Structure formats: C-alpha cells, structure tokens
Amino acid sequence: MPNTPDTISSTPDSVVVQFTPAYPTGIPAAQQLDTVVQRVESLPVMETPKVSAPTIHSRGPLYDTGSMSLLLMSMLMIVVSFRSGYKYIENLGSNLFSVRKRRENAFATHTMGDMRMMMALVLNSCVLKGILLFYAIGYFLPQLRAEMQAHVFVNVGVLSGACLAFHLLQNIFYGTLGYVFSDSLSRRLWLIGFRASQSVCGLLLFPVTAFLLLFPSAMEMLLMLAAGIYLLVKIVFILKGLRIFFNKISLTFYFILYLCSVEFVPLVIFAISLVKICTLLQS
C-alpha cells in the first residue's frame, strides 16, 4: 500500500486512525498564481483631487427675469416700430448734426411711426442706462452691492425710471430755454438734436451693456467705455447748441454759464439723487 500521512493502527477490538496535517503552519499564500490579485495590486491608486473653495457668482441683471424682461420689452418696441419708423433712424445723423435753419427741415411733419420709433429708442436708452448705473453704483459703492444684488429688478427698474424722468425733465428744460431765449425754429432744431442724441446714445450703449452682462469681470473697462460714449454724444449735442445759439464771441460768457447751469449742475444733482435713492432702497 502507498504511504499516506495518516497512520492506521489496528487492534483486535478497534481501529484507530491518526491524522497528521500536511500544512501545520497554514496554507501558504499563492500570489504568483492569483492573477486577479496581481491585477488589482497593479492598478494605480486614485488620489483625492485637490479643489479650491467654491466661487460664489454674484447675481446680476443677466440672471434676473424682471430686468431681462424690461430690456427685451424695450428692444421689442424698437423691432415693432421699425417698419413704420425706419426713416427716423435714417435721419438720425442729420437730426444730430444739422443746424440749417430751413423751415421745411425743422417743421417737417413727423409720422406716428417716427414718433413711436423715437420713443422706443429713448426708452431703450433709459433701460440700458439703468443697467449700467446698477453696475456702476455697485462698483463705486461696495457697501450697497450685496443688497442691490438681492433686489436686482427693483434697483434696475427704479434706475431706468429715474433716467426716463431725467430725460423728460431735460426735454422740458431745453424747450423752455429755447422758447424764452430764441425763436421757434432754433428751439425745434435744438430739441430734435437732443432727442436724436439720446437715441444714438442708446444704440451705441447696447453692445457695451451686452458685453457687461456677459463679462462682468471687465466691468471697469466697460464702464469707462460707456461713460466715454455718453460724454462724446453729450459733446456733440452741446456743439450743436453752440452752433445754433452762440454765433458771436461776446456770447462766450453766456455759453459758459449755460454749460454750468444746464449741463453740469443737473447731471451732478441727478447722480447724487441716484445714490440717495439706492441707499434708501437698501435700507
């Protein structure tokens, strides 16, 4: 019989089997035969990714339904009025620069389409200025920024309404000055130039506002560009008034007085009033 690790002893009365373990110290690990273990051990260990603190994106008009609805409404008015009032846009250049006191030009009959287009452009300009002022006040007055971003539509709506009210007050003021100090023809040319300047300002401010909504990180540069556009359009309008009314060197003092009392002081008062209004809104 072959030898086995078990030994058998027999007696006349019983049979005793004695078991001897083949691996008294335990079964050795056969890693060289375990391909699954080898594959698992050879796999790269995934490290915990290093991440930075989450960045909180500030809420602005782009993510506010009310503000965007206000802007889209003003743009929709331009689209709807374009078919019957496109001639007004064609004449923006002459309305802004021309000072020829010809009766047929100054008293030309404006259609209802032209009036609707003018009002749509002015309204769009006021809404764009309101959005730009929202960013400007938050930039120059950081203490108001958080509260303004918590109530975006209220602030944008109030600022846009304030720009519209300021436009109407300017229109009344220029009309009164033209009526008191000049003839009706010059007054009409002046008012046409003012309305054309506001329309052109809105058209030029639209791409700047769009870039500011999409790229608020470039706020400083875009706000400076918007201020430059507003200043340039204002200078063109002032020069038109100078060409209409001030045709003598002796009137230089009156021109300086006009600049201070009509152009600069109301603008400063308007800016201070906007800061006061925004401060009250956040309180």
Buried-exposed string 20-46: b where 16+ CB fall within 10 A, e elsewhere: eeeeeeeeeeeeeeeeeeeeeeeeeee
Find out whether 77 and 124 touch, Cβ atoms under 8 Å. yes
| Cα–Cα dist 206/95, whole Å | 20
Determine the pLDDT at residue 261: 84
Q: Tens digits of per-residue pLDDT, 17-37?
A: 566 776 667 666 554 545 655
Q: What is the mean pLDDT of residues 52-57?
A: 57
Q: Counting Cβ atoms within 10 Å, is residue 242 exposed (0-12), middle (13-18) or buried (19+)?
A: middle
End-to-end CA distance of the chain: 106
pLDDT beyond 90 at 179: no
Question: For residue 133, is it left (φ>0), alpha (ψ between -120 and 50) or beta?
Answer: alpha
Q: Tens digits of per-residue pLDDT, 64-104?
A: 999 999 999 999 999 999 888 888 888 888 888 887 765 44
Q: How confident is the prediction for the chain on average, in pLDDT?
A: 82
| CA 18-22-23 angle, 5° bins | 130
CB atoms under 10 Å from CB of 188, counted, come to: 19
Q: Global pTM?
A: 0.76
**Where residue 133 falls among pLDDT bands split at 50, 70, 90?**
very high
CB atoms under 10 Å from CB of 17, counted, come to: 9
